[in-house]
Amino acid sequence: MSAADPGHILKDTALVLRIAPVSNTSRIVQWFAVEHGKIATLIKGAQRPKSPFLGQFDLFYSCELLFYARERNHIHIARECTPLARRDRFRSDWRAAAAASYCADAVARLTLPDAPQPQLFRALETTLDELAEAGATEAALYWFELKLLEAHGVQPRLDACLDCGAALLPATRAPHFAMARGGLVCAGCAARGERGEPVASDALAMLAGWQASASPRAARLTQCTARQLGAMETLLGRFLQTHAELLPNSRSLALGLLRST
């Protein structure tokens, strides 16, 4: 059944990405849903004292959502909403809230309406769970960025040389990152052709490990120096801008808050 079929009631599990007012009492909510991807619903009278939606949705909630599918303006009509995970920490921990805002903003910017991306949904849900449970860290955000890129098919190649295919281990001489090509070139190939930019082997090894990890917890538990985190910020930031045309202000804001005392 398509979300474009008018009048049908559809059910999905969805994360709240954005909320915007359309009147004193009604709201438009942008969701990221498992089966329907990025969708928007109108919630009429959401702020009225006796509304059945009152307290049932907020930023970064996971909800079971029932909605009437409408083709016009791609804005559907919410019928019922039941919270599955509220993640209350985001209401009191402003660093965690800033990190969650960046993750939601990145998904909202990079996804198309009505295009399911279950892999990215799982990555966002897992990241929000981690931030809500343990608080925000730079490393957790870099893990999410790696999964965001992977879901869009443009992840950096961090395990082997693009030219000769040689494995690049942490003990290898500092390899070069060819940003336009999206991956690493070993020192030998770099000397014979495109050099790219040097990248620290220790930061590279961490990113490669996180890229293969199913949870941001591995990134959170990794002991990183300020130099290593700075190298990751620069590499992933430039990669997002080059290959995904993404470098929102929400990223620099979240990272700046995480570094503040």
For residue 28 the two structure tokens come to 């438009």
Using one digit for the tens of pLDDT, what is the confidence trace for 116-174?
999 999 999 999 999 999 999 999 999 999 999 999 999 999 988 898 888 876 556 66
Dihedral of alpha carbons 104, 106, 108, 112, sign: negative
Question: How many CA within 13 A on the CB side of residue 42?
Answer: 16
Q: What is the pLDDT of residue 26?
A: 96
- All residues at 6 or more sequence positions from 223 whose CB lies less than 8 Å from its CB, including other chains: none
Which pairing describes strands 9-21 and 62-68: parallel, antiparallel, or unpaired? antiparallel
Q: What is the CATH number of domain 9-86?
A: 2.40.50.140
Using one digit for the tens of pLDDT, what is the confidence trace for 47-60?
999 999 999 999 99
The answer to whether residue 40 scores a pLDDT higher than 60 is: yes
- Report pTM: 0.92
The answer to whether residue 241 scores a pLDDT higher than 60 is: yes
- Where do the DSSP E strands lie in 86-167? 157-161
* CATH homologous superfamily, domain 108-259: Recombination protein O, C-terminal domain (1.20.1440.120)
Look at the block and give the residue holding tokens 């849903």: 33
Rg (CA), the chain: 21
Question: Mean of the pLDDT values across residues 81-99?
Answer: 97
Using one digit for the tens of pLDDT, what is the confidence trace for 169-222?
655 666 789 999 999 988 788 877 767 888 888 899 999 999 999 999 999 999
Sheet holding 157-161, edge to edge: 157-161, 183-185, 176-178, 197-198
Q: What is the pLDDT of residue 159?
A: 86
Domain ranges in the chain are 9-86, 108-259
101/17 Cα distance (integer angstroms): 8
